[in-house]
Amino acid sequence: MKRMLFAIVLMLAFFSVAAQATDIMPETTLLLPMAEGVNARWIIPPASDNFAARYRDMRMSFTVDTDGHAWLGFADGSVLCPQKEYSFKLPETFWDFVCLDNGVMLFATTSRLALLDVVAGQNGQQPTVSLQPVAMLPPDCIRMFKGADNCLYFICGKENGENSVWLFKPQAYRGDRGLPEFQKIFESEAPVNAVAGDGVITWVAIGRLVIKIDEQKRVQRYYQHPHQVIVDLEYSLTGGLFYSTPFAAGYLGKNGALEMLNARGPDIACQGSSLYLLFSRDYGLMAVDGISQLPQYDQPLAGIKKVRAVKYDQ
């Protein structure tokens, strides 16, 4: 009898471990170089179904601050940082926000660039968080991107109109009056999906194509994804260029792509030597550390040399 009871307890323990082990994310695969320091880790586990259901249909902005904390902004004005347990709702609507490496958090409203501001409450009321406008944005801006080396990129344009990319890098460019100015760096007849760079070299995504604009402002073909439209680009000074499509995210070198994640609607951000992958379906957040080692894999591929796997039909 004791033996039987022990066997049952053992089986239950085994099943619980097995259940944990097989609790994998659906339709998601990860490919990582097996190198020291390169590994994936969970930052924020997936959110509850209620939370995901509430925000799933809202337009979302995602950025990571200098301390590696993820910030999410939603179309209803909600801003939250789960790791710091910050959350507030802005009275103004904004369509994008970024955290730069120098600690500046900037919001883009309909026509203005704004900073976060806390206004003291009047007559004993609690303070409120609002946006402090700092400057006018270039006309018809639709997206704002964090660039490396503390610069900002903006994609502007109207539907069926000309599209343009603007750069704002105050520490590097000042106008005739000695003041920082927005610079238009690229014009296109085709819609621009994403932009990244460091203010010197810029990459622009148009459809499946990624174009490089060098220091001499020459436009060159950089990469074309074989299957999917590129929707986001991120550039890290240590790691290089990263991209995301509606179904994948990966590293983009001179010799091609290294698609590290296949998942539905991933959102990416770079900070330091980590690439952050946000699963837009359940708001789980992973970090891939050691991305500074990825450029060493940017070589012409000769093919698959070996595949080691468990043969299940043995």
Partner 1 sequence: MRKLIYFVIAGFLMLMPDMAWAGAYEQLLSISGGGAPNVPDVPEPTPVEPDNYSNSNSNSYSNYQQPSYNYADPAEQQRREERRRQRQKARERRAREARDRREDREWEEEKKERNEYEAKRQIVLKQLPPKWQLKSSARKNPAAGKVPPLSGLSSMTSMQKQIDALQKKSGLNAQQQAELASLDRRMLDLWAQPVSADDTPERVRRVIRLPLGFADSKDVARLDQEKLRALLQSPSDSPAAEAVSDLLPVRNGVVNFAGDHLQNIIAAAPAEVFEVATDAEMGALMKDGVALAKVTLAFRDASQGIAALADFVVGRIAVPQAAIAEAGRKIYTNIAFESLNNFMDKASSAVGATHDRPAFWQEIKDESNTGQRAFLEWMGAK
- CB-based contacts of 302, cutoff 8 Å, min separation 6: none
Q: Residue 124 interacts with partner 1 (CB under 8 A)?
A: no
Q: Residue 186 interacts with partner 1 (CB under 8 A)?
A: yes
Q: Name the helix (H) or strand (E) containing 14.
A: helix 2-21
Which range of residues in 5-13, 140-148, 182-190, 229-237 is near partner 1 by CB under 8 A? 182-190
How far apart CA 32 and CA 121 sit, in angstroms, is 50
Q: Residue 67 interacts with partner 1 (CB under 8 A)?
A: no
| Closer to partner 1 by Cβ: residue 6 or 51 | 51
Task: Name which of residues 240 to 259 contact partner 1 (CB under 8 A).
Answer: 248, 250, 252-259
Q: Which residue has the tokens 């550390």?
A: 289
Q: Residue 173 interacts with partner 1 (CB under 8 A)?
A: yes
Task: Name which of residues 92 to 111 contact partner 1 (CB under 8 A).
Answer: 100, 102-106
Q: Residue 61 interacts with partner 1 (CB under 8 A)?
A: no
Going by C-alpha positions, the residue among 258, 198, 270 that lies closest to residue 232 is 270
Contact 183, 166 (CB under 8 A): yes
Q: Residue 6 interacts with partner 1 (CB under 8 A)?
A: no
Cβ neighbours around 111 below 10 Å, total: 12
N- to C-terminal Cα separation, the chain: 36
How far apart CA 188 and CA 186 sit, in angstroms, is 7
Q: Residue 129 interacts with partner 1 (CB under 8 A)?
A: yes
Q: Residue 220 interacts with partner 1 (CB under 8 A)?
A: yes
Q: Residue 123 interacts with partner 1 (CB under 8 A)?
A: no
Q: Residue 295 interacts with partner 1 (CB under 8 A)?
A: no
Q: Residue 47 interacts with partner 1 (CB under 8 A)?
A: yes
**Interface pick for partner 1 out of 180, 246, 265, 295 (rule CB under 8 A):** 180
Contact 106, 98 (CB under 8 A): yes
**Interface pick for partner 1 out of 3, 85, 124, 160 (rule CB under 8 A):** 85
Q: 216 φ, ψ to 5°?
A: -85, 10
Q: Residue 269 interacts with partner 1 (CB under 8 A)?
A: no
